[in-house]
Structure 1
């Protein structure tokens, strides 16, 4: 296996001077020579295997970590902080709520409706903002890999144009996964039967793998991203599955860290101290969100490189072509 060498796109080649205006992309491409498929910054040749894949995942982070940090902080961290503040305010206001009023059925119905509406609004807002951040990060990382100029503002504007379609496809994918898991659970899971959980877990993991490349498939190719994601997965099932499962560990790590923080925070609060409990809950939620940002960056980079690797194996795609596909759609 040929070992990956330092990325020539990171070599600091001089770019055309903007001098108050930005030249067209062709000027930057002329200053950034094409070093061939073996050193493509995003598309990993099959001959380089896992070593080339992991090197390129790291390359995305080395080139773009500052801008990605800003994007994911705005679209992932900020909503969590705002929701945490609203939650704390709601809990504090609830301490003075007259529980005797709940004996009235209309008050109970109103409270349930308010809670459901709040949860729905939060889910919709968070999903849209996350799709905005994902599309923006894809635009930024792809252009930077090709040696082209890009700002966070330009990336966010691109994300705004793509977030609705991206969110709609993800909602459809999540619904299909949920239906599949529920169908298997209805057939296999019996009361007090742990073995019945195994088929449900297998189906859930498989369907999650099938939709894992949905995001880049939509942004780069647009047509039928759900089917396309499954096609790319099955074209090299075991290598792609191994990469995606490794990335999935980042999600598990984030969940474990959040649970640990929550448990430590709860243990530090004396019984009956509502104010301290609210403060600790808000603090642990914020800390957990901060810790999740670098994990999200790793997950994003891995998905992008995995998609580009499969496209390259299928049709000799290059980073420059991926940039053109983003611009054309």
Structure 2
């Protein structure tokens, strides 16, 4: 059910006590309560899952960027470019892009497995790290493919102008949960949910986006400031290399709460929008995950 054939048949009770689905009349307070409840229930399996699937790729990309990036401080004072500078810059950019693209599959395991954990534990069903990794591995390629499509759409929007990019990012925010629960048409369904209840979805996604933005800025600032003492090429000496790696690792770990907020906030928002369309409960949503 839910895998390419639409939502599963409705089954079981539905009401204000559902731990995941915010009923239509509960408002922002109900949404916040269910987000907090999901974090309390599921942080134990989610924490190592996010460390493995989000922090490890982020650290790897940061280390690659730090180790391969052309050294701008070595440019001649007259403003000319060294002979191989542009080619090195292109190789560096392509390498980072390809590595980040490959790690997108790993991140997809985390987002899919995390959604599985949040839904199953809300329904009172067992959900552990190995199970989350197995489920995530089964769904990650499809999710990764759709995330690439979304990235291209949002990127084109930002290239056209800032506002179209922001609009597309918000309108497509629920595409990941739509794909995992319904298995089809994530772009169209996300647009429909966004426009059918514009104020509600915009408000929920904006809160998630604000938390993600602030947390990401904190991690970026911590990494940038922390690596300054080690120079532009810290891997020339063992001591500076260890220090730089430690700073990057700690900075990436600081962002883990951001991943939890993003995952839980979007799953609960999706569940709330399903409730706006008709009766649905957490048991049905778990069945749709497959």
TM-score for both structures, normalised by structure 1: 0.73
Q: In the alignment, does 2:108 pair up with 1:131? A: yes
Q: CA deviation at 1:85?
A: 5.1
Q: Identify the residue that residue 312 of structure 1 maps to in structure 2.
A: 275
Q: Identify the residue that residue 4 of structure 2 maps to in structure 1.
A: none
Distance 1:278 1:44, change over 3 A: same
Q: In the alignment, does 2:264 pair up with 1:301? A: yes
Q: Identify the residue that residue 264 of structure 1 maps to in structure 2.
A: 225
Is 1:44–1:56's contact at 8 Å kept on the other side of the alignment?
yes
Distance 1:35 1:218, change over 3 A: closer
Distance 1:326 1:259, change over 3 A: closer
Secondary structure, aligned partner of 1:38: coil
Which ranges of structure 1 fall in alignment gaps of 5 or more residues? 1-33, 95-101, 185-199
Distance 1:103 1:183, change over 3 A: closer
Q: Tell me, in whole angstroms, the C-alpha distance in 1 between the residues paired with 2:59 and 2:66.
A: 11
Relative contact order higher in (CA < 8 Å, ≥ 6 apart): 2
Is 1:143–1:149's contact at 8 Å kept on the other side of the alignment?
yes
Q: In the alignment, does 2:29 pair up with 1:66? A: no
Q: CA deviation at 1:285?
A: 1.9
Q: Identify the residue that residue 78 of structure 2 maps to in structure 1.
A: none
| Of 144-153 and 270-279, the range deviating more from structure 2 | 270-279
Is 2:172–2:191's contact at 8 Å kept on the other side of the alignment?
yes
Q: In the alignment, does 2:128 pair up with 1:151? A: yes
Secondary structure, aligned partner of 1:179: helix
Which ranges of structure 2 fall in alignment gaps of 5 or more residues? 1-11, 72-80
Q: Tell me, in whole angstroms, the C-alpha distance in 2 between the residues paired with 1:240 and 1:89.
A: 41
Q: In the alignment, does 2:20 pair up with 1:42? A: yes
Distance 1:63 1:113, change over 3 A: same
Q: Tell me, in whole angstroms, the C-alpha distance in 2 between the residues paired with 1:270 and 1:167.
A: 35
Which of the numbers 207, 221, 240 marks the counterpart of 2:182? 221
Distance 1:173 1:151, change over 3 A: same
Secondary structure, aligned partner of 2:154: helix
Distance 1:43 1:288, change over 3 A: same
Q: CA deviation at 1:125?
A: 2.2
Q: Identify the residue that residue 237 of structure 1 maps to in structure 2.
A: 198
Distance 1:142 1:279, change over 3 A: same
Q: Identify the residue that residue 51 of structure 1 maps to in structure 2.
A: 29
Q: CA deviation at 1:78?
A: 1.7
Q: In the alignment, does 2:124 pair up with 1:163? A: no
Secondary structure, aligned partner of 2:16: helix
Q: Tell me, in whole angstroms, the C-alpha distance in 1 between the residues paired with 2:97 and 2:68.
A: 16
Distance 1:319 1:141, change over 3 A: same
TM-score for both structures, normalised by structure 2: 0.82
Which of the numbers 169, 172, 176 marks the counterpart of 1:208? 169
Structure with bigger gyration radius: 1
Distance 1:115 1:263, change over 3 A: closer
Distance 1:270 1:210, change over 3 A: closer
Q: Tell me, in whole angstroms, the C-alpha distance in 2 between the residues paired with 1:108 and 1:211.
A: 36
Q: Tell me, in whole angstroms, the C-alpha distance in 2 between the residues paired with 1:272 and 1:224.
A: 46
Aligned-pair RMSD on alpha carbons?
Answer: 2.9
Is 1:311–1:317's contact at 8 Å kept on the other side of the alignment?
yes
Q: In the alignment, does 2:150 pair up with 1:173? A: yes
Mapping for residues 102-121 of structure 1, pairs under 5 Å: 109=87, 111=88, 114-121=91-98
